[in-house]
Amino acid sequence: MPPSIPRAGISALSCLAFAAAFSATAFAEPGLGYEDTPIIPGTQWHVHDGLRPQPRIVTPGATFSDLAPPPSDAVVLFDGKDLSQWESLDGHEPSWKIVDGVLEVVPANGQHHLKTKTRFPDFQLHVEFATPAEVKGDGQYRGNSGILINGMYEVQILDSFNNPTYPDGQAGALYGQTPPLVNASKPPGAWQTYDIAFESPRWDAAGNLVTKAVVTVIQNGILVQNHREFFGSTDGINGIPHKSLGAYHAPHPPEVVIELQEHKNPVRFRNIWIRPIGAYDLPGK
Ligand code: MG
């Protein structure tokens, strides 16, 4: 059950507590989201709640895993040369373009995502992205893309540098579910890194959900999601209505595709690779 303390009270207390320690902290921003959406279970917040506390800003170091070469057991998904690992959602040639070794979204209708041709088990994914240097739009309409795991679970990409929006929709958020621990975003046009560990949900033979999907996200060297469960599919993608509550609708295999979201903004990508997490105590060779 949500606490009975009014959210305004929480915000005021939080403000007092954090203001003493952090000068760059931002707090509840009215008018940024919705309050007529479902309450997220286990929280006091609505889906895309504009009054949810804005994550504290942390300035990343200059580099972290930028241009990190792939490990020996990684599958290289994009190395600047071609899109041989990718296809459109309906299995055709991708519509995105490669310019000087960089992959760029070609804005369309918001449905022209890229999808890997192959599926991957529980994985470690390295992705580098840059939101447009030329700032256009506000909120969700500025530098929006995303890592759509199996087309179901979105780790949001957004220009979240001086661009307030509902916290569960900013960069590093599990969209519509969990804001990032902190705002680790670099300025528009700057290359940023996501290093993501993802464990698929599991169902038993009878179709009962046994474990939820779990994700850890490091953005620009800063932990923004710490072994966090997805409550289910995230809203607004691939047929899940925007502003609806995340849910697990049907079992799927642990092997999943990776999608890069086309959200009408020319976000750029480079150096994408993925490797299996594997298991402990497996024999080597
Ligand atoms: Mg997105």
Residue in 191, 192, 175, 199 with CA at minimum distance from that of residue 263 = 175
Residue 285 confidence (pLDDT): 66
Please, what is the average pLDDT of the chain?
91
Q: How far is the CA of 132 from the centre of ligand 1 (A)?
A: 14
Q: 49-84: buried (b, 16+ CB within 10 Å) or exposed (e) per residue?
A: bbbbbbbbbbebeeebeeeeebeeebebbbeeeebe
Question: What tens digit of pLDDT does each residue of 49-61 get?
Answer: 999 999 999 999 9
Q: How far is the CA of 207 from the centre of ligand 1 (A)?
A: 29
Residue in 259, 277, 209 with CA at minimum distance from that of residue 94 = 259
Residue 147 confidence (pLDDT): 98
Mean pLDDT of 161-181: 98
Mean pLDDT of 251-262: 98
Alpha-carbon distances, residue 142 vs 84, 86, 106 (angstroms) = 28, 25, 15
Q: How far is the CA of 19 from the centre of ligand 1 (A)?
A: 30
Q: How far is the CA of 67 from the centre of ligand 1 (A)?
A: 23
pTM above 0.85, yes or no: yes
Q: How far apart are CA 68 and CA 97, in angstroms?
A: 22
Domains of the chain by range and CATH?
56-276 (2.60.120.560)
Q: How far is the CA of 257 from the centre of ligand 1 (A)?
A: 17
Q: How far apart are CA 149 and CA 136, in angstroms?
A: 27
Q: How far is the CA of 171 from the centre of ligand 1 (A)?
A: 9
Give 27: exposed, middle or buried? Use CB within 10 Å, 0-12, 13-18, 19+.
middle
Residue in 157, 126, 124 with CA at minimum distance from that of residue 142 = 157
Q: Which residue type sits at 209?
A: L
Q: How far is the CA of 258 from the centre of ligand 1 (A)?
A: 14
Q: How far is the CA of 173 from the centre of ligand 1 (A)?
A: 9
Residue 239 confidence (pLDDT): 87
Q: How far is the CA of 263 from the centre of ligand 1 (A)?
A: 6
Q: How far is the CA of 158 from the centre of ligand 1 (A)?
A: 7
Q: How far is the CA of 110 from the centre of ligand 1 (A)?
A: 10
Mean pLDDT of 232-260: 94
Q: How far is the CA of 20 from the centre of ligand 1 (A)?
A: 33
Q: How far apart are CA 31 and CA 171, in angstroms?
A: 19
Residue in 104, 86, 66 with CA at minimum distance from that of residue 195 = 66
Neighbours of ion ligand 1 (CB under 5 A): 144, 146, 156, 261, 263
Q: How far is the CA of 145 from the centre of ligand 1 (A)?
A: 4
Q: How far apart are CA 276 and CA 71, in angstroms?
A: 11
Helix or strand or coil: residue 215? strand
Question: What tens digit of pLDDT does each residue of 97-119 get?
Answer: 999 999 999 999 999 999 999 99
Residue 17 confidence (pLDDT): 40
Alpha carbon distance, N-terminus to C-terminus of the chain: 50
Residue in 166, 151, 178 with CA at minimum distance from that of residue 239 = 151
Beta pairing partners, 269: 103, 129
Q: How far is the CA of 66 from the centre of ligand 1 (A)?
A: 22
